[in-house]
């Protein structure tokens, strides 16, 4: 790649990714690769420590990571609050489906992978609640959540089991995730 193309590519990334937390995560790298790598590293560390699945329990991962998790009916989905000393508490709505709750907890764990997470309460925003470039942070947390709930290498579709809606539904049930 020529230096002009590389410079243009770096410039395009800077224009594309503008959220301060995203820039803190990956100041000169691809944020998708950065969050994927961080989530996989935590998952690998947890698996080495005995975390297993499927389904991969995000509550157990939070406990392994020393993140407290508390149910709160007044929280829409979930949020992450810094509690001091580099520690976090995830509050979640227990009235959501198990698959939604699992994703919300995993999404909030992904928020803690950002170096500036303690600066403000992190909420799992709905589309309507997002302002400006919040979507960038939220989409990266969704990627991190997917890495947590369905770790790379944790499932294989056998050649004799064709990819179909039935296969997807079976995987959904096996991993306790939404389709």
97, 171 Cβ separation under 8 angstroms: no
H-helix or E-strand spanning residue 122? strand 122-123
Instruction: Collapse the DSSP code of 126 into the 3-class scheme (helix H, G, I; strand E, B; otherwise coil) and give the result.
Output: coil
The model carries a pTM of 0.85
pLDDT score recorded for residue 15: 62
At 58-88, the pLDDT tens digits run 999 999 999 999 999 999 899 999 999 999 9
Whether the predicted pLDDT of 35 surpasses 90? yes
State percent of the chain over pLDDT 90. 64
Name the token pair of 32.
């998708």
pLDDT digits (tens, 9 = 90+) for 92-105: 999 999 999 999 99
* Alpha carbon separation from 64 to 31, 45, 90, 108, 129 (Å, rounded): 25, 10, 14, 15, 31
Q: Which pLDDT does position 65 carry in this prediction?
A: 97
How many whole angstroms separate alpha carbon 6 and alpha carbon 10?
6
pLDDT digits (tens, 9 = 90+) for 97-149: 999 999 999 999 999 999 999 998 876 666 677 678 889 999 999 999 999 99
Give the tokens for residue 37.
């790598």
Q: Are 176 and 53 in contact (CB under 8 A)?
A: no
Could you give all domains of the chain from N- to C-terminal order, each with its CATH number?
Answer: 18-175 (1.10.10.2910)
CA quadruple 148, 149, 154, 155: dihedral sign: negative
């Amino acid at each position: 790649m020529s230096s002009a193309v590389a410079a243009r590519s770096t410039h395009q990334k800077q224009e594309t990714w503008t959220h301060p937390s995203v820039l803190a995560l990956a100041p000169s790298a691809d944020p998708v690769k950065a969050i994927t790598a961080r989530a996989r590293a935590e998952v690998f560390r947890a698996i080495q420590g005995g975390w297993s699945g499927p389904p991969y329990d995000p509550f157990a991962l939070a406990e392994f990571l020393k993140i407290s998790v508390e149910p709160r009916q007044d929280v829409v989905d979930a949020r992450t609050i810094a509690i001091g000393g580099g520690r976090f508490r995830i509050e979640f709505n227990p009235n959501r489906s198990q698959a939604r709750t699992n994703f919300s907890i995993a999404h909030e764990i992904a928020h803690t992978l950002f170096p500036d997470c303690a600066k403000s309460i992190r909420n799992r925003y709905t589309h309507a609640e997002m302002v400006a470039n919040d979507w960038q942070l939220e989409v990266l947390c969704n990627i991190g959540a997917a890495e947590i709930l369905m770790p790379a290498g944790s499932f294989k579709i056998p050649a004799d089991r064709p990819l179909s809606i039935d296969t997807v539904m079976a995987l959904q049930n096996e991993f306790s995730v939404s389709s």
